[in-house]
Chain A
Amino acid sequence: MQELSVRHLLGIKDITPQDIQLIFETADNFKDVLNRPIKKVPSLRDITIANVFFENSTRTRLSFELAEKRLSADVINFSSSSSSVKKGETLLDTVNNILAMKVDMIVMRHSSPGAPHFLSRHINANIVNAGDGTHEHPTQALLDTFSIREKYGEVAGKKVVIIGDILHSRVALSNIFALQKLGAEVMVCGPITLLPKYIKELGVKVELDVRRALEWCDVANVLRIQLERQQMKYFPSLREYTLYYGIDKKMLDSLDKEITLMHPGPINRGVELSSDAADSHHSIILNQVENGVAIRMAVLYLLASKTA
């Protein structure tokens, strides 16, 4: 039997291609479970999981919570906005207090890059990184690559372009790592101001023209413009961004080739994607959401078998 090479899922950078394949194979089985009349298995019935979110989240938190409940785990939710963090408690104290209640796993989102890595050095519970600042978002990359595998049969050899705000995107970084580990070719595309200075050192192609990027790729993963992370102006206006980097159905149809459109959500409709593109046959955005639950079930299940 294969098992994960890690006790925590902190980032895609830390796991092997074999780990990713094992997660995919396990997720295949959980996807089958999710399509049964009774969508629940008792695997984690003796495990308690805390969802510790120091940053806003709708989709990821719902997806994790659903995955945990489908696995029969006991779930507690914590959000910093309504907690003692507001009273000055440290991250480690907060988590240790949660762990004192006999919690086995922590699913954590934090605005500081490296926060889950820091925690993993101080606590015994398994940690799943649900996004740490602009660093990594491993389960999003896993569900994105799983969705590509589902659509094409394999990820290896596929040309994938990540379009938009690469600079502030943890999804982009995790996706780059995951795609490369699985043998895909990766390109990033966006305004020069939203591309990290040393992005080429990650072994990705860089393209500034969105049409040329779309002509090159099999899959376009379009990112949200993260206005909440931007401390300064990176482009003149949203209208101008849409003009140069927005994707609509007319553009997709004019390519004269089949292309797959992805988006980690939430979509700024009419900014990076028009509604007719987001809802077109090119889009597998809702498949990504469905696959998110199966992938998170697989991650939690496999990590739960790695006791301290």
Chain B
Amino acid sequence: MQKRLIVNQQLLDIMVMRLCHQLIENHGDFSDSVILGLQPRGKYVAERIQTTLATILGKQIPTGYLDTTFHRDDFRRRETPLTANATKVDFLIEGKKVILVDDVLYTGRSVRAALDAMIAYGRPANVELLVLIDRLYTRHLPIEATYVGRQVNSLQSQRVLVDWQAQQAPEDAIWLFTKTED
């Protein structure tokens, strides 16, 4: 497995800051907006977005995290079953502008499952999607992100991984992994 750094800590900080300003452009004071990070890895992006917005705006935007395991369409079709993660949405999303946050947009199936899971908490006024990495030409469903950190042209056999210090990684970074023939 070869790994190549595609976004370092400094660029990632700039990327998050840019995404936050794009959010402020559309959501103003965030009075009707909430952030939902998709478990397991979107949770860390959502927390980072929330922290950065708090620094800029001086207020905490309601942020939760959503597990989509029970709403996925590949149950019993995978080699190994998926482990569910905790969901924490301690606010109603009825009539709210929801910003779904994930680290990587790949096939779009997780996002479809998230849209399904989200409905259990009410009917949002509208839903946007924010991702750090958009893997081009890999979509299985007609789903696109509203806010994108960076677009990456990658092969099916490759994998994109976002590392966070919050997950005990040495630094915040985004890597592209390529399988090698041993």
Contact = CB atoms under 8 A, between A and B. Distances in A.
A302 B70 CA distance: 11
A38 interface: yes
Interface in A25-44: 25-26, 28-30, 32-33, 36-44
Nearest to A42: B71
Which of under 10, 10 to 19, 20 to 34, or 35 or more describes the interface residues of B? 20 to 34
B102 to A, nearest CB: 19
Contacts of A37: 92, 120-122
Nearest to A302: B81
B43 to A, nearest CB: 14
B91 interface: no
A3 B116 contact: no
Nearest to B113: A42
A82 interface: no
A1 B82 contact: yes
Interface string A270-308: 000000000000000000000000000000011011010
A305 B76 contact: yes
Contacts of B119: 38
B157 interface: no
B84 A29 contact: yes
A2 B121 contact: no
The interface residues of chain A, by DSSP majority, are classed as loop
Contacts of B80: 1, 3
A256 interface: no
7 contacts: A1-B82, A25-B83, A29-B70, A33-B120, A41-B71, A42-B70, A307-B76
B163 interface: no
Contacts of A71: 70
B75 A305 contact: yes
Given A1-B81, A26-B84, A33-B70, A38 B76 contact: no
Output the residue of A3, A42, A301, A304 with the most chain B CB within 10 A: A42
Nearest to B87: A32
B86 interface: yes
A5 B34 CA distance: 40
